[in-house]
């Protein structure tokens, strides 16, 4: 019976990228992997996305029949039956202010219309399918909300709903939990676990991630191919070994760091650099921030906490002047109330370094590592500067050397982990007075996370960190936790 046929069989399979003129195999070693219909697989390791692409009918297999999809029974082309969903950034927008501005661009559409694009129409005869998808992904209450107003977790589910509307037989998802708070991760995990066998689901996860209870099998990649594979309980100890190995390697790298990070600041220690004096923000009658009071002193490191949708991104956008209500005298920076005509976007951001999933989503991937980091010296543009000073060039090269990156590599050729690393370095290269790290270390390999955390632990400037996973948060002095619908925030000290 067709239900018992394997989903995919890779038998001594070598694959070559379609556009590779050298015709070099994607993996040096042949791949042998069988996924059965009663199994729920996760793929991990440094080349998990490459393996997902092989499973997803990408590239050319050699021999031709070394990759088959028996469960399809030759009824449809594999490429038409498989969806691969990647999560690099969270928000679909052409610019960072789009989430908050009141004019329309191509992404300022309601969720129902966004999903309707799957069929080339807003709803029409597919209205029931759209409503069913929203209900299945627990999005029905947001059907009229513009997608740029969705939280990270809500947007993640919206993209999955759009993929499901294409009715795939096999759904491959890389980094599904990237940047999600614990409640959102739990909701999404339950949804994904309930989907098989229609469609079958394969996840791409990092070695250090928490694996859903419904995952039964794991394949671990390395530079050459599939290192190990099998039932999760048989692979778990090896995963723990690899995780600890990466952490140990990162600590060694951090100890060898030659870079001094003592910054020169004009402000006195403990001087108040940010003060929000009962700031309120709302969208269409919905309260996001309600008379928020917050004070940040020079050199402090804050962990900005809160579930997806609690107002963290809104708060950051006020600081970076990406929000239309950023020019508000209740926002006091370095003792000066922010006012229209007195402060402008460029002056405000000249003292700020910032990285986030939104920046990652819109950052041009065509630039080299060197040029990508160099854009950190420019405010309001992602075009590399042409006239760097010798000191700026040295700063960039020092960072590249410390983090062992290839300065000539294109961003699109890097792993997701290294792309995030480059954007992190872009945020620190000008030694900003205020550094905002919004999910900066999510999607990084564990050794990179430890390396970046060590860097920030030695950073003497003011830092605001957003993140939901404790292992990805550098040492912070204090925290502020926002609550949905403008509830009174919690503020406190963090004990080591």
Under the phi-then-psi rule, with left for phi > 0, alpha for psi from -120 to 50, and beta for the rest, what region is 45? left
Residue 234 and residue 368 in one domain: no
C-alpha 185: how far from its chain's center? 14
pTM score, whole prediction: 0.79
Q: What are phi and psi of 479, to 5 degrees?
A: -140, 155
Q: What are phi and psi of 10, to 5 degrees?
A: -110, 115
Residue 248 and residue 284 in one domain: no
Residue 351 to residue 339: CA distance in whole angstroms: 17
CATH number at residue 366: 3.40.50.300
Number of independent structural domains in the chain: 2
| 263 within some domain | no
| 47 within some domain | yes
| 414 within some domain | yes
Residue 159 to residue 113: CA distance in whole angstroms: 13
Per-residue pLDDT of the chain (496 residues; tens, 9 = 90+): 445 899 999 999 999 987 655 568 899 999 999 999 999 999 999 899 999 999 999 999 999 999 999 999 999 999 999 999 987 654 454 445 544 444 444 456 888 888 988 887 555 678 888 988 888 888 888 888 877 777 767 888 888 889 989 999 999 999 888 877 788 888 889 999 999 998 999 999 998 888 999 999 999 999 999 999 999 999 999 999 988 887 787 777 666 654 444 444 444 556 899 999 999 988 766 788 999 999 999 999 999 999 877 889 889 999 999 988 898 899 999 889 998 878 899 999 999 999 998 899 889 999 999 999 999 999 988 999 999 999 999 999 999 999 999 999 999 989 889 999 999 999 999 999 999 999 999 888 888 888 899 899 889 899 999 998 888 999 999 999 998 877 889 999 987 6
Residue 456 and residue 366 in one domain: yes
Domain limits for position 379: 272-493
Q: What are phi and psi of 452, to 5 degrees?
A: -70, -40
Strands 462-466 and 434-438: parallel
Residue 28 to residue 10: CA distance in whole angstroms: 15
The residue among 296, 281, 406, 425 whose CA lies nearest residue 355 is 425
| 264 within some domain | no
Residue 163 and residue 215 in one domain: yes
| 260 within some domain | no
* Collapsed DSSP state (helix, strand, coil) of residue 73: coil
Using an 8 Å Cβ cutoff, are 179 and 358 in contact? Answer: no
DSSP string, 43-70: EESTTHHHHHHHHTT-SEEESGGGEE-G
The residue among 390, 391, 389, 394 whose CA lies nearest residue 407 is 394
And the tokens for 132?
Answer: 């069913």
Residue 129 and residue 28 in one domain: yes
Residue 134 and residue 225 in one domain: yes
The residue among 444, 437, 443, 447 whose CA lies nearest residue 474 is 437
Residue 307 and residue 220 in one domain: no
Peptide bond into 53 cis (omega under 30): no
| 470 within some domain | yes
* Collapsed DSSP state (helix, strand, coil) of residue 461: coil
Angle at 445 between CA 444 and CA 446, to 5 degrees: 110
| 258 within some domain | no
């Amino acid at each position: 019976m067709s239900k018992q046929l394997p989903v995919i069989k890779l038998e001594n399979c070598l694959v070559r990228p379609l556009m590779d003129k050298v015709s070099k195999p994607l993996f040096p070693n042949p791949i042998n992997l069988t996924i059965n219909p009663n199994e729920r697989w996760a793929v991990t390791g440094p080349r998990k996305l490459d393996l997902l692409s092989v499973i997803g009918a990408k590239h050319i297999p050699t021999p031709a029949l070394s990759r088959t999809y028996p469960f399809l029974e030759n009824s449809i082309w594999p490429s038409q039956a498989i969806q691969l969903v990647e999560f690099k950034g969270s928000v679909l927008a052409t610019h960072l202010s789009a989430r908050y501005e009141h004019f329309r661009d191509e992404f300022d559409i309601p969720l129902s219309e966004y999903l309707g694009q799957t069929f080339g129409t807003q709803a029409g005869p597919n209205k029931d399918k759209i409503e069913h998808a929203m209900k299945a992904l627990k999005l029905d209450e947001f059907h009229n909300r513009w997608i740029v107003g969705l939280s990270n977790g809500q947007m993640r589910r919206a993209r999955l709903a759009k993929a499901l509307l294409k009715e795939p037989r096999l759904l491959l998802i890389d980094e599904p939990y990237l940047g999600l708070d614990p409640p959102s991760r739990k909701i999404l995990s339950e949804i994904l676990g309930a989907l098989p066998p229609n469609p079958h689901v394969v996840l791409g996860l990092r070695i250090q991630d928490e694996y859903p209870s419904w995952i039964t099998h794991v394949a671990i990649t390395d530079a050459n191919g599939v290192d190990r594979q099998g039932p999760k309980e048989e692979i778990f100890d090896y995963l723990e070994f690899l995780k600890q190995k990466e952490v140990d390697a990162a600590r060694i790298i951090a100890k060898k760091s030659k870079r001094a990070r003592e910054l020169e600041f004009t402000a006195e220690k403990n001087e108040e650099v940010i003060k929000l004096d009962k700031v309120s923000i709302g969208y269409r009658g919905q309260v996001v921030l309600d008379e928020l009071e917050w004070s940040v002193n020079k050199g402090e490191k804050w962990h900005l906490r809160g579930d997806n949708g609690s107002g963290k991104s809104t708060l950051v956008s006020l600081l970076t002047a990406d929000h239309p209500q950023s020019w508000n005298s209740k926002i006091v920076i370095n003792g000066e109330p922010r006012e229209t005509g007195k402060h402008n976007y460029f002056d405000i951001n000249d003292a700020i370094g910032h990285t986030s999933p939104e920046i990652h989503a819109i950052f041009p991937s065509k630039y080299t590592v060197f040029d990508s980091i160099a854009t950190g010296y420019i405010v309001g543009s992602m075009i590399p500067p042409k006239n760097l000073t010798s000191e700026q060039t040295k700063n960039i090269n020092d960072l590249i050397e410390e983090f062992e990156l290839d300065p000539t590599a294109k961003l699109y050729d890097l792993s997701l982990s290294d792309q995030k690393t480059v954007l992190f370095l872009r945020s620190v290269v000008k030694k900003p007075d205020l550094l905002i790290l919004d999910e900066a270390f999510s999607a990084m390999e564990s050794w990179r996370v430890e390396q970046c955390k060590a860097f920030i632990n030695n950073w003497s400037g003011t830092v605001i960190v957003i993140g939901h996973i404790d292992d990805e948060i550098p040492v912070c002095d204090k925290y502020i936790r926002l609550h949905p619908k403008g509830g009174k925030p919690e503020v406190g000290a963090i004990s080591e």
